[in-house]
Chain A
Amino acid sequence: MSEPIISVDGLSVRFPVGRSGFWGGKQRLLHAVDGVSFDVARGEVLGLVGESGSGKSTTGRAILRRVDASEGTIRFKGEDITHKTGEEVRRLRRHMQLVFQDPYGSLNPRQSVLEIVAEPLLVHGMIDRISDARDQVVEFLDLVGMPPDAVDRHPHAFSGGQRQRIGIARALALRPDFIVADEPVSALDVSIQAQIVNLMQELKDELGLTYLFIAHDLSVVRHISNRIAIMYAGRLVEIADRDAVYETPMHPYTKALLSAVPIPDPAVEKQRQRIVVQGEIPDPVDPPPGCRFASRCAYRQDRCVEESPELRDVDGQQVACHFAEQIAAGDLVAR
């Protein structure tokens, strides 16, 4: 593929969560993201999947420089942006934008659609007054499938799907190259989800965008993604081409996730064996030394508890599991 537009190397994000002990001993840290590396090629859609608290949103926000990376580097078009601050970050925002999860919370109830969509243009000095952007805003609204008379209305006049379209129009206003979509459809009705995913697909083709598409559900990203990365408890456990992830999942966690995706065929669905994951997610403040998934893994061995697996190449897929080959070959049986 062509040169990566985003390149993340060894990214870790830790949040301080107060001090241990009465006299304020050691600063305790929550390990939200831990040593994550991946590239996103220009024009590609990378699906980032994981459950709540797996660090997928934090990864997205670290790339946008909304949260600071504790370790690692983030490159945008080859330029190291990890330590950029203030005005430099502001300029970066013209090239990378975010689509929010909650279309109800992410639009200011007191602004009209015109103000919402034109605000990015105003704050970057591309227009002098909000009213100057009227024609542009109508164009953007048309692009996302909204009627021109939406311009003067307020967000509460619209349904969730329509609001999400407005949110997308706002993200597009600066004509960015790269968009982080943070679970853009998980707050919407199932019937609307497909519409929004299709819209994003069309916009990508039309405007030549690149997405990091975050979701907690493999079925949503299947349609739009070229590659899929799976996160668990702050770590990347598997990253591979879309079809490989769906057809030959390597990591036990990926297998479990896939088995939770319903298949729209009752006969197949009935015969399928569902992997129900038992146990608890490890404490992010005090993560275990070994594999993060070990506490819930059906294939767990002694080595998994002691040694943390690195992401490595197995049959063209990248997997962070010591026993990926054995599991794939059927040499290791689930308990």
Chain B
Amino acid sequence: MASVSDVGLTIGRTANKSRTRSFLGELWQDKAGFIGFAFLVILLVVATLAPLIAPYDPASQSLVDRLQPPAFAGGTSAHLLGTDNLGRDVLSRIIHGARVSMLVGVAVVFLSGTFGVVMGLVAGYKGGRTDSIIMRVVDTQVAFPGLLLALVILTVVGPSVPTVILVLAINGWMVYARVTRGTVLSVRESEYVEAAEIVGARPRRIIFKHILPNLSAPLLTLGILEFARIVLAEAALSFLGLGVQPPQTSWGLDVATGRDYIFNSWWLVTIPGVAIALTVLSVNMFASWLRIQADPLEREKRFAAGQGAV
């Protein structure tokens, strides 16, 4: 018995290993995608191991060393990316800030995306009264100022990372619902959806097997744009004092506080800003590879092009 399951395990492992290898191999073909993926992996490792990697405690102040420029701009190697107005090490803050920024961005995109896409699928597929009700709720919420809603909830519940995630998710699902519904309306008229219905597939299967996969390209793009927006929205809330609370830190919070020093200490805004920009860019490059990879037509084209070259 044991030996049989062992064999199964080893087979499973080798299959896994070769799958990982072929994934990396295919990713290597697209250099931009590979760089994006590598950056994201590094970022994830850094965020997870932040306390071990960061040279200083991100919250420890040292007013003697305040506003030191980065090492490459005339500073010392003690603070590679300089210090802020309270003498806190910028590099350590970036490393720790990655945790909150990534967590908020990913969690919000996941939550609002899931909810919005499901709502859009139901509205688009069912049509009629269901559609009207869902889309009127969307319209109402779009018309209502999101920031106001966020402020109300955050003041009542009290600011913390989970509430920030919840508030931003509540504010962000409508755009997914709209995009999804619009695409569903066109895809559900396609003949292969009719074919699935004629064959006797139930609505749930049609929605998730036939309609949803054909929405992945626009939704992936939307999710990435939203990720960037969410990182900045979290920054805005933190700036207003209702987001991440010190001593916790995030890239957005650093950009926001650094704004007061933009004329004499440019690095306070620039460095977390560059971190946000690089992250969004990496997600973009990786996602564009993923989108092509997920499309069988594109895959075959690429395969054919590769064959032609040989």
- Taking a contact as CB atoms under 8 Å apart, the answer to whether B195 and A98 are in contact is yes
Task: Specify which chain A residues have a CB less than 8 angstroms from the CB of B196 in the assembled complex.
Answer: 108, 119
> Taking the complex as formed, is B7 at the interface, i.e. its CB lies under 8 A from any CB of chain A?
no
Within 8 A of B (CB), among A111-139: 111, 119-120, 123-124
- Interface readout for A138-171 with B: 1 if CB under 8 Å, 0 if not? 0000000000000000101100000000010010
List the B residue with the shortest CB-CB distance to A153.
B300
Binds A, one of B10-18, B24-32, B167-175, B197-205: B197-205
Report the Cα distance A123→B201, complex, angstroms.
5
- Taking a contact as CB atoms under 8 Å apart, the answer to whether A109 and B296 are in contact is yes
The 8 Å CB contact of B198, one of A91, A97, A110, is A97
Known interface pairs A105-B190, A108-B210; A170-B195 also in contact (CB < 8 Å): yes
Interface centre among A100, A105, A110, A119 (most CB of B within 10 A): A110
> Taking the complex as formed, is A222 at the interface, i.e. its CB lies under 8 A from any CB of chain B?
no
List the B residue with the shortest CB-CB distance to A154.
B296
- Taking a contact as CB atoms under 8 Å apart, the answer to whether B198 and A93 are in contact is yes
> Taking the complex as formed, is B214 at the interface, i.e. its CB lies under 8 A from any CB of chain A?
yes
- Taking a contact as CB atoms under 8 Å apart, the answer to whether A156 and B297 are in contact is yes
- Taking a contact as CB atoms under 8 Å apart, the answer to whether B202 and A123 are in contact is yes
> Taking the complex as formed, is B213 at the interface, i.e. its CB lies under 8 A from any CB of chain A?
yes
Task: Specify which chain A residues have a CB less than 8 angstroms from the CB of B296 in the assembled complex.
Answer: 109-110, 154, 156
- Taking a contact as CB atoms under 8 Å apart, the answer to whether A94 and B200 are in contact is yes
Task: Specify which chain A residues have a CB less than 8 angstroms from the CB of B209 in the assembled complex.
Answer: 111
List the B residue with the shortest CB-CB distance to A167.
B195
List the B residue with the shortest CB-CB distance to A180.
B198
List the A residue with the shortest CB-CB distance to B211.
A108
Within 8 A of B (CB), among A54-105: 64, 66, 90-91, 93-94, 97-98, 100-102, 105
Distance between A299 CB and nearest chain B CB, rounded to angstroms: 39
> Taking the complex as formed, is A107 at the interface, i.e. its CB lies under 8 A from any CB of chain B?
yes
Known interface pairs A106-B191, A156-B297, A156-B300; A98-B198 also in contact (CB < 8 Å): yes
Distance between B163 CB and nearest chain A CB, rounded to angstroms: 38
- Interface readout for A155-193 with B: 1 if CB under 8 Å, 0 if not? 011000000000100100010000000000000000000
Taking residues whose C-beta sits less than 8 angstroms from the other chain, chain B's interface range is 20 to 34
Task: Specify which chain B residues have a CB less than 8 angstroms from the CB of A174 in the assembled complex.
Answer: 199-200
- Taking a contact as CB atoms under 8 Å apart, the answer to whether B300 and A120 are in contact is no
Report the Cα distance A90→B209, complex, angstroms.
18
List the B residue with the shortest CB-CB distance to A91.
B200
List the A residue with the shortest CB-CB distance to B296.
A154
> Taking the complex as formed, is B192 at the interface, i.e. its CB lies under 8 A from any CB of chain A?
yes
Distance between B83 CB and nearest chain A CB, rounded to angstroms: 52
Interface centre among A100, A123, A157 (most CB of B within 10 A): A123
- Taking a contact as CB atoms under 8 Å apart, the answer to whether A120 and B200 are in contact is yes
The 8 Å CB contact of A154, one of B191, B194, B199, B300, is B300
The 8 Å CB contact of B191, one of A97, A102, A123, is A102
Report the Cα distance A174→B195, complex, angstroms.
13
Distance between B58 CB and nearest chain A CB, rounded to angstroms: 45
Report the Cα distance A119→B205, complex, angstroms.
10
List the A residue with the shortest CB-CB distance to B189.
A105
Task: Specify which chain B residues have a CB less than 8 angstroms from the CB of A90 in the assembled complex.
Answer: 200, 202
Task: Specify which chain A residues have a CB less than 8 angstroms from the CB of B192 in the assembled complex.
Answer: 105-109
Known interface pairs A105-B190, A108-B192, A110-B213; A66-B297 also in contact (CB < 8 Å): no
Distance between A71 CB and nearest chain B CB, rounded to angstroms: 23
- Taking a contact as CB atoms under 8 Å apart, the answer to whether A93 and B195 are in contact is no
List the A residue with the shortest CB-CB distance to B214.
A110
List the A residue with the shortest CB-CB distance to B212.
A110
The 8 Å CB contact of B300, one of A108, A157, A170, is A157
Report the Cα distance A109→B213, complex, angstroms.
10
Task: Specify which chain A residues have a CB less than 8 angstroms from the CB of B297 in the assembled complex.
Answer: 109, 154, 156
The 8 Å CB contact of B199, one of A101, A105, A123, A156, is A123
Task: Specify which chain B residues have a CB less than 8 angstroms from the CB of A105 in the assembled complex.
Answer: 190-192
- Taking a contact as CB atoms under 8 Å apart, the answer to whether B198 and A66 are in contact is yes
A/B interface sample: 17 pairs, CB < 8 A: A66-B198, A90-B202, A93-B198, A97-B198, A101-B191, A106-B192, A106-B195, A107-B192, A108-B195, A108-B196, A108-B214, A109-B214, A119-B201, A123-B201, A154-B296, A156-B297, A174-B200
Besides the known contacts A90-B202, A174-B199, A174-B200, 16 further A-B residue pairs in the complex with CB atoms under 8 A apart: A91-B200, A93-B198, A93-B199, A93-B200, A94-B200, A98-B195, A98-B198, A102-B191, A105-B190, A107-B192, A108-B192, A109-B192, A109-B297, A110-B213, A111-B209, A170-B195
